[in-house]
Structure 1
Amino acid sequence: MPEKVALIGSGNWGSAIATKIGVNASACADFDDKVYMWVFEEYVKEEDGKWVRPARGAKPPEGKTWVDEGYTPLTQVINEKHENVIYLPGIELPHNIVACPDVATCVDGATMMVFVIPHNFLAPIVPKMEGKFAKGAIGCSLIKGIEFEKEGDMKPILISDLLQAEMKKSDGAPVVDMSVLMGANVANEVAKGDFAEATIGCTKPENGLKWCKLFNTKDFAVQAVTDVAGAELCGAMKNVVALGAGFCDGLGYGGNTKAAIIRIGLKEMQKFCKVFYGDRQIKDETFLESCGVADLVTTCFGGRNRKCADIFAKNIAAGTPKAWDVIEAEELNGQKLQGERTGTAQDVMKAIKAKGVVDAFPLFSQIHKIAFEGAKPETIIDMKLEKYY
């Protein structure tokens, strides 16, 4: 029987990866041709050639619906136009991608489930899937981010572990083997067909092969490593290093300094993974894959965190410092800093303090001091680098 694929999530990245999944599901006999994509239902209408939504928090007039007001469900627009006009405008989706507003219907009978939703959606959405997906189904998380325990040693919690736990909550529920897909993947570039690489972190090679078959195309090269924790943690830790790269840019430091920050950052990412997930057999080669050095470089040269850290440093130098939330609101056009307004950097610091290993992470420590403790940005280079030797 062919694999039945469900895509849970339809934002910018979810819609972009749908362009690859749809093509492969249609072309390969290993997969059922039809792929359901869960869409958080919104209402849209076209005005002056642009698709718009009701204002945030707005409600239709009493006794009426948004449809009465001339709006159309986003799922209907996607299925008729084969385009996500809100989150990936201008890109045609494969015609075998079927938008669905009900997640239970989306995953009904699914044997392979791809998760691309904000991690704060997990708790309300995953329980609705109970009893719907096939026994023996496997999952793959494309969700970048990380949670931390709130007490004790503040250990980082993998999103893939949270997903697995949510799906196992009810009595008799199966354990879903989870993989991850991480890498240097700017969604719009992937959707346009610009060449990119990605890394599958898996627990079982046979499942890694299945995911590679689903995602890999001539312009989207995917390789698997049996290292879920290493691949996934890279996707979160890069955002901390990007702050350091941004401080360098804001200070006008050259390529040598920025390259040093990136190299040191990669080493500390690797060390962090081994300190907190050494029992998962973290592999050194993972950090040389797309999920590691490639994603780190992309984020340190073009990501939101780099941009805002650049501005943060320039404002301090000019004597007009601004808080992170102010910079975010002014510069990101409604988008958010990666890592919950740099909260990842704060949680990382709490974790390494709780573990008693602060001295092993001079870059992470200095980034935290600059971002949250009032240290001057130029102290980014005041690190005890001999701790690396």
Structure 2
Amino acid sequence: MEKIAVLGAGSWGTALALVLADNGHDVHLWAHRKSLAEEISRTHTNEKYLEGVALPEQLQATHEMAEAVRGAGHILLAVPTKAMREVCAQLKDLLQDKVILTHAAKGIEPGTYKRVSEIIAEEIPKESYEDIVVLSGPSHAEEVSRRQPTTVTVSASDLTVAEKVQDIFINQNFRVYTSPDLVGVELGGALKNIIALGAGISDGLGYGDNAKAALITRGLAEIARLGTSMGANPLTFSGLTGIGDLIVTCTSSHSRNWRAGYKLGQGNGLEQVLEDMGMVVEGVRTAKAAYQLASDQNVDMPITTGIYQILFEDKSPRDVVDQLMTRIRRHEMEDLTNILDQQLND
């Protein structure tokens, strides 16, 4: 039995802690709020984030990060992207032995354009960890916590470390694949949140399945364009952390990003939407970062641009749809051809 620390007691961190506890590990869950840590340890519930879910009795929670990570050989970072630097800054002074660091966040940092693994690597000295692993894929915390079948992917620079993480998570309900494409796995998980906002906006406007199917398909093309420009393997985006995650996030009311987009499509302002949600909506921050990054790298991302305009320039969602529908004519295979040409020339 291995001690594993899970930092972040939101819905995703708690659901993953449940998986690890089911697998017989000694799991210590760190919560930023003391009252939440006490609730989890005392009543074995997390009603704000996972209503009605009974957590394993052996799952321990604490408000003290030092207590959570002491003696742990593996640390799972399950905090929002915007909190990652702050949490890592606290964590680095607590690490005494080399650990495996896994993160389950899905975002890009505005301004720096850093992926989450890059943020962690900047904040925590290399001598403190074996490797940084990303866990991503089509996975709603609500379903994982109810032990419904779920499949995800883990990736790291060192495949043997990724396989160690695969071994500690995998069980009959939670299947885990490995991938060598760390960049693609991270970007697929982050960028799909922008398209999910768009899918929610489309539904909020009252548009049908035709519109959403087009949005998902053309959104995937945008993700692949930006991803390959940053060194990802285009095939990654046809897998679990690409189209798989895109489908589940764009079509389910479990998705925070879809729900936020739906409210925007119904005419609510961004500030009010985020206040009503009461939880982090990663796609909002990532939309800003992806828009900046696409502009910097001269990558065409019209859907992302439109979402950015709705979020930060107060553009009408209907006007953005009209703008997308009246773009210059193109051949659908241009994107695939350009991506393949880029791969062959690299």
Cα deviation, residue 245, structure 1: 2.0
Are positions 1:291 and 2:276 aligned together? no
3-state SS of the aligned residue for 1:15? helix
CA distance, structure 2, for counterparts of residue 135 and residue 314 of structure 1 = 51
Cα deviation, residue 17, structure 1: 0.9
Change (3 A) 1:127 1:369: closer
Residues 250 and 309 in structure 1, CA contact (< 8 A), matched pair in contact too = yes
Residue aligning to 2:215: 261
Residue aligning to 2:288: 346
Cα deviation, residue 132, structure 1: 4.1
Residues 80 and 280 in structure 2, CA contact (< 8 A), matched pair in contact too = no
3-state SS of the aligned residue for 1:386? coil
Are positions 1:180 and 2:134 aligned together? yes
Equivalent residue for 1:337, pick from 281, 286, 290: 281
CA distance, structure 2, for counterparts of residue 135 and residue 129 of structure 1 = 12
Change (3 A) 1:385 1:294: farther
Name structure 2 gaps, 5 residues minimum: 335-346
Change (3 A) 1:267 1:127: same
Cα deviation, residue 235, structure 1: 1.7
CA distance, structure 2, for counterparts of residue 84 and residue 149 of structure 1 = 34
Instruction: Name the aligned partner's letter for residue 120 of structure 2.
Output: L
Equivalent residue for 1:167, pick from 114, 124, 135: 124
**Structure 1 vs Structure 2: percent identity of aligned residues?**
28
Are positions 1:98 and 2:60 aligned together? yes
Map 1:311-322 → 2, pairs under 5 A: 311-315=263-267, 322=268
Map 1:61-80 → 2, pairs under 5 A: 74-80=36-42
1:328-364 per-residue CA deviation (whole Å, 9 max, x = no partner) reads: 445x3x234333xx2422332222222233xx32332
1:121-148 per-residue CA deviation (whole Å, 9 max, x = no partner) reads: 3344334334544533211101122103
Cα deviation, residue 385, structure 1: 5.5
Are positions 1:365 and 2:289 aligned together? no
Cα deviation, residue 176, structure 1: 4.3
Equivalent residue for 2:34, pick from 30, 42, 46: 42
Are positions 1:227 and 2:181 aligned together? yes
Residue aligning to 1:252: 206
Instruction: Name the aligned partner's letter for residue 368 of structure 1.
Output: Y
Are positions 1:198 and 2:126 aligned together? no
Residue aligning to 1:68: none
CA distance, structure 2, for counterparts of residue 309 and residue 80 of structure 1 = 36
More off after superposition, 216-225 vs 282-291: 282-291
Residue aligning to 1:144: 106
3-state SS of the aligned residue for 1:157? coil
3-state SS of the aligned residue for 2:282? coil
Cα deviation, residue 293, structure 1: 1.0
Cα deviation, residue 387, structure 1: 6.1
Aligned length: 327
3-state SS of the aligned residue for 1:242? helix
Equivalent residue for 2:166, pick from 207, 212, 227: 212
Residue aligning to 2:340: none
1:22-74 per-residue CA deviation (whole Å, 9 max, x = no partner) reads: 121x2xxxxxx42222222423xxxxxxxxxxxxxxxxxxxxxxxxxxxxxx4
Residue aligning to 1:309: 261
3-state SS of the aligned residue for 1:40? coil
Are positions 1:107 and 2:99 aligned together? no
TM-score norm. by structure 2 comes to: 0.84
Instruction: Name the aligned partner's letter for residue 378 of structure 1.
Output: V
Instruction: Name the aligned partner's letter for residue 355 of structure 1.
Output: Q
Change (3 A) 1:10 1:256: same
Cα deviation, residue 296, structure 1: 0.9
Residues 38 and 100 in structure 1, CA contact (< 8 A), matched pair in contact too = yes
Taking only aligned residues, the RMSD between alpha carbons, in angstroms, comes to 2.5
Residues 109 and 285 in structure 2, CA contact (< 8 A), matched pair in contact too = no
Are positions 1:6 and 2:5 aligned together? yes
1:209-261 per-residue CA deviation (whole Å, 9 max, x = no partner) reads: 11111111211111111112211112221122123323432443332232121
CA distance, structure 1, for counterparts of residue 273 and residue 99 of structure 2 = 43
Instruction: Name the aligned partner's letter for residue 214 of structure 1.
Output: I
1:275-302 per-residue CA deviation (whole Å, 9 max, x = no partner) reads: 1x21xxx223321222211211122122
Residues 131 and 173 in structure 1, CA contact (< 8 A), matched pair in contact too = no
Residues 7 and 38 in structure 1, CA contact (< 8 A), matched pair in contact too = yes
CA distance, structure 2, for counterparts of residue 230 and residue 311 of structure 1 = 30
Change (3 A) 1:215 1:234: same
Equivalent residue for 2:270, pick from 324, 334, 340: 324
CA distance, structure 1, for counterparts of residue 189 and residue 308 of structure 2 = 19
Residues 241 and 364 in structure 1, CA contact (< 8 A), matched pair in contact too = yes
CA distance, structure 2, for counterparts of residue 247 and residue 76 of structure 1 = 38
Cα deviation, residue 268, structure 1: 0.9
Cα deviation, residue 269, structure 1: 0.5
CA distance, structure 2, for counterparts of residue 254 and residue 75 of structure 1 = 42
CA distance, structure 2, for counterparts of residue 110 and residue 173 of structure 1 = 16
